[in-house]
Chain A
Amino acid sequence: SQQGEEDPQALSIQEGENATMNCSYKTSINNLQWYRQNSGRGLVHLILIRSNEREKHSGRLRVTLDTSKKSSSLLITASRAADTASYFCARGHGGGGADGLTFGKGTHLIIQP
């Protein structure tokens, strides 16, 4: 079953605006990761936040995590046309295990020039 659910399913904004995507999950996590998928391509890892962290930055990306609400958000600032893609959150089970990640259904982001 899907453990990570992104919201909204689709988002269309103007270039230069900020884009915010949310992710909710149901069970405890060790870490939460965000991936990007360009059309027709594989997923690419963007950023990881551990369960004991509340906020993380990487370039134009900002991720927050609220474990009490079981939710995370991904903010892309000053969006560009090249940011058009689908974004997925993935729950890491942690504990050093290699049993894969559980992905949500994704948010499809369109940046309009």
Chain B
Amino acid sequence: NAGVTQTPKFQVLKTGQSMTLQCAQDMNHNSMYWYRQDPGMGLRLIYYSASEGTTDKGEVPNGYNVSRLNKREFSLRLESAAPSQTSVYFCASSEIRRLSGANVLTFGAGSRLTVL
């Protein structure tokens, strides 16, 4: 099983350029997420999609847009990149465990983005 696949793994952008990070999962999970990870800050939620056709803002949504293309795919778009968006981006998907009602996440390997 591939799990959660993110592309690209690395990207360098100039300020003002746009780009889309792609994410796909093959576990038939309903929910998908985009986090960013910065040194000393842990992981912060950007956007999430509880199910196909829905998206919601997380803790740090400014400067980003998302699209839940279908159940498998959830993309993150930077319309006009800024140096403050230099980060490592993680996509995740989740299942709600029946017994506990807990939301357990499976993460991709990450996409390292540098904005100059």
Contact = CB atoms under 8 A, between A and B. Distances in A.
Contacts of A96: 96, 101
Interface residues of A, number: 32
Contact of B50 (A30, A98, A102): A98
Contacts of A101: 103, 105
A40 B107 CA distance: 12
A32 B102 CA distance: 9
A101 B105 CA distance: 8
Contacts of B35: 100, 103
A95 B50 CA distance: 13
B102 A99 contact: no
Interface residues of B, number: 33
Given A1-B59, A50-B100, A95-B101, A100 B48 contact: yes
B interface: dominant SS: strand
B101 A94 contact: yes
B107 A42 contact: yes
B48 A88 contact: no
Contact of B100 (A42, A48, A104): A48
A101 B96 CA distance: 12
B90 A42 contact: yes
A88 B42 contact: yes
A41 B112 CA distance: 11
Interface of B: 4, 30-31, 33, 35, 40-45, 48, 50-51, 56, 58-59, 90, 92, 94, 96-97, 100-110
Please give me the 10 A-B residue pairs with the lowest Cβ-Cβ distance, nearest first. A42-B107, A98-B31, A105-B42, A98-B50, A103-B43, A31-B102, A43-B107, A100-B45, A103-B42, A100-B48
Interface of A: 1-2, 4, 30-31, 33, 35, 40-45, 48, 50, 88, 90, 92-106
